[in-house]
């Protein structure tokens, strides 16, 4: 069996998330498996770097799968893309070492979250960002974001349903940029807890609006209490941007 990796881009708007689900539910994994199994005429088991939620987008999701025959990766990619729906595309396919596992081999994942800070929502960004109308204090959010960098217990910044897992994560980097009216939150970590980015961005937006101080992050991190983090922001502003191996 040959092990292949592929880089996948998808618009999450019309998917119930990445992971396949029982019943007639549209998922990225379901669409990919349908086309891969049809073209390859074999059962496929799909590894993937990030299990994105319903509505979350990906620029460079990474998957891997084992194939009986040798593939001409360039032609294979074109034939897969011709069968995939309009909202998924394979950007790249290549042979991977036999040990490669899209999830377990990943060293770092980068997510972006987009906020339009203006008094109107752009028709072009509506599906890919949220609108915040009051002027956000970018510097305060940057100051607060620094507190997330490093190794921390993120139990106050995830969905309560994952409280029993190991909630320690290593955040490598956190940048907040503002270009014109678009605020981009870019966060890198070894891996992320369920809803972690959306909880973190929600907390920072409260600070950007002046409803909380940058120092509040320290307390939330050290206490591990759910009540000390902000509201979770909607999925549509979130992109899995890159996975590093």
Active site residues: 53
- Residue number with CB closer to a copy of itself (196 or 235): 235
Tokens describing residue 135: 């002027």
What is the rounded distance in angstroms from the CA atom of residue 242 to the CA atom of residue 237? 16
- Residue number with CB closer to a copy of itself (2 or 119): 119
Q: What's the min distance (Å) between Cβ of 130 and a copy of itself? A: 15
213 lines the binding site for a copy of itself (CB under 8 A): no
Q: What's the min distance (Å) between Cβ of 242 and a copy of itself? A: 13
- Residue number with CB closer to a copy of itself (117 or 156): 117
180 lines the binding site for a copy of itself (CB under 8 A): no
Q: Contacting a copy of itself (CB under 8 A), which of 38, 94, 107, 126?
A: 126
38 lines the binding site for a copy of itself (CB under 8 A): no
DSSP 112: E
10 lines the binding site for a copy of itself (CB under 8 A): yes
179 lines the binding site for a copy of itself (CB under 8 A): no
What is the rounded distance in angstroms from the CA atom of residue 105 to the CA atom of residue 61? 13
Provide the sign of the torsion angle of the four alpha carbons 218, 140, 57, 241, taken in this order.
negative
- Residue number with CB closer to a copy of itself (30 or 230): 30
Tokens describing residue 198: 């959306």
Tokens describing residue 182: 């678009």
153 lines the binding site for a copy of itself (CB under 8 A): no
- Residue number with CB closer to a copy of itself (59 or 108): 59
Contact 239, 111 (CB under 8 A): yes
* Backbone angle region of 149, left / alpha / beta, with phi > 0 → left and psi within -120 to 50 → alpha: beta
What is the rounded distance in angstroms from the CA atom of residue 1 to the CA atom of residue 98? 9
Nearest to 173 by CA among 217, 109, 103, 116: 109
Q: Which of residues 53-112 bind a copy of itself (CB under 8 A)?
A: 57, 59, 74, 77, 81, 86-91
Residues in touch with a copy of itself (CB under 8 A): 9-11, 57, 59, 74, 77, 81, 86-91, 119-124, 126, 128
């Amino acid at each position: 069996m040959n092990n292949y990796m592929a880089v996948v881009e998808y618009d999450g708007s019309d998917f119930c998330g990445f992971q396949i689900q029982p019943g007639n539910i549209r998922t990225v994994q379901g669409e990919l498996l349908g086309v891969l199994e049809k073209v390859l005429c074999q059962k496929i088991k799909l590894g993937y770097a990030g299990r994105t939620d319903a509505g979350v987008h990906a620029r460079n999701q990474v998957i891997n799968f084992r194939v009986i025959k040798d593939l001409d990766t360039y032609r294979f990619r074109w034939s897969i893309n011709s069968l995939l729906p309009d909202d998924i595309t394979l950007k790249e396919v290549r042979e991977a070492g036999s040990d490669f596992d899209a999830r377990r081999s990943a060293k770092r994942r980068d997510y972006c979250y987009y906020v339009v800070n203006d008094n109107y929502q752009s028709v072009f960004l509506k599906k890919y960002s949220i609108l915040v109308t009051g002027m956000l204090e970018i510097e305060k959010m940057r100051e607060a974001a620094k507190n997330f960098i490093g190794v921390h217990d993120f139990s106050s910044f995830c969905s309560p349903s994952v409280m029993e897992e190991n909630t320690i994560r290593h955040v490598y980097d956190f940048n907040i940029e503002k270009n014109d009216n678009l605020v981009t939150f870019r966060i890198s970590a070894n891996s992320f807890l369920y809803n972690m980015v959306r909880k973190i961005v929600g907390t920072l937006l409260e600070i950007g609006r002046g409803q909380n101080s940058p120092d509040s992050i320290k307390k939330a991190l050290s206490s591990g209490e759910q009540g000390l983090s902000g509201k979770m922001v909607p999925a549509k502003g979130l992109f899995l941007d890159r996975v590093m191996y």
